Amino acid sequence: MNRLNRINLPNRLTLLRIFVVPLIIVFLVKPSPLFSFLAAVVFTVAAITDWLDGHLARSTGQVTTLGKLLDPIADKILMVSVYIPLVGVGRIPAWLATIMIGRELAISGLRALAATEKLVIPAGTAGKYKTGFEIAAMEFLLLNWDYKYVHFQTLGFVCLLVAMVFSLFAAVTYFLLYWRAKESVPI
């Protein structure tokens, strides 16, 4: 039995999210309406696997340590590898990508620290809104279409600004929850 057969479906979906990232990058660095569309389609598939792998793992009792490790890593790989080329092709400013990527790294570090201290800090609704606006922003920015009075790049930028606000609010909330949880733990 090979190793891939021992990996459950939710974890396979998580791995798929990682493996499609090079396709998105290839499509992004070759600017054309077709490649922009293909990048958006592949990103959509990856975004759907983000929801689906967690849903399947929880609903079928297939939550694994590997999945708990891989899922957030796959999310970060996907988003960072879309932010960077979007900056490179001039669709988003570097300062905005830096804030979003920096926030993700800070929260990942804090989660790792909390885990070493056996603290569980639940994700809040602001983070879910951030993710929704961030995915919508990426879709608009990847497509980069204009239709009459609708400019996808402008819509994407606005969605990303809203995602940034939710992102920063969620980060502050997460840090406050961490410090409160840490204070309540006896030494």
Encode pLDDT of 86-103 as tens digits.
Answer: 999 999 999 999 999 999
pLDDT at residue 93, as a whole number: 97
Q: How many domains does the chain have?
A: 2
More confident residue, 139 or 150: 139
Does residue 61 sit in the same domain as residue 153?
Answer: no
Q: How confident is the model at residue 187 (pLDDT cuts 50, 70, 90)?
A: low
Other C-beta atoms closer than 10 Å to the C-beta of 125 total 10
Which residue in 124, 85, 94, 84 sits closest to 107, CA to CA? 124
Segments forming the whole domain that contains residue 178? 91-187
Q: How confident is the model at residue 5 (pLDDT cuts 50, 70, 90)?
A: low
Q: Of 37, 57, 90, which residue sits at a domain end?
A: 90
Residues in the chain: 187
Which residue in 76, 74, 63, 83 sits closest to 109, CA to CA? 76
Does residue 68 sit in the same domain as residue 80?
Answer: yes
Does residue 37 sit in the same domain as residue 115?
Answer: no
Does residue 20 contact residue 45 with C-beta atoms inside 8 Å? yes
pLDDT at residue 38, as a whole number: 95
The pTM assigned to this predicted structure is: 0.87
Does residue 33 sit in the same domain as residue 66?
Answer: yes
Does residue 71 sit in the same domain as residue 12?
Answer: yes
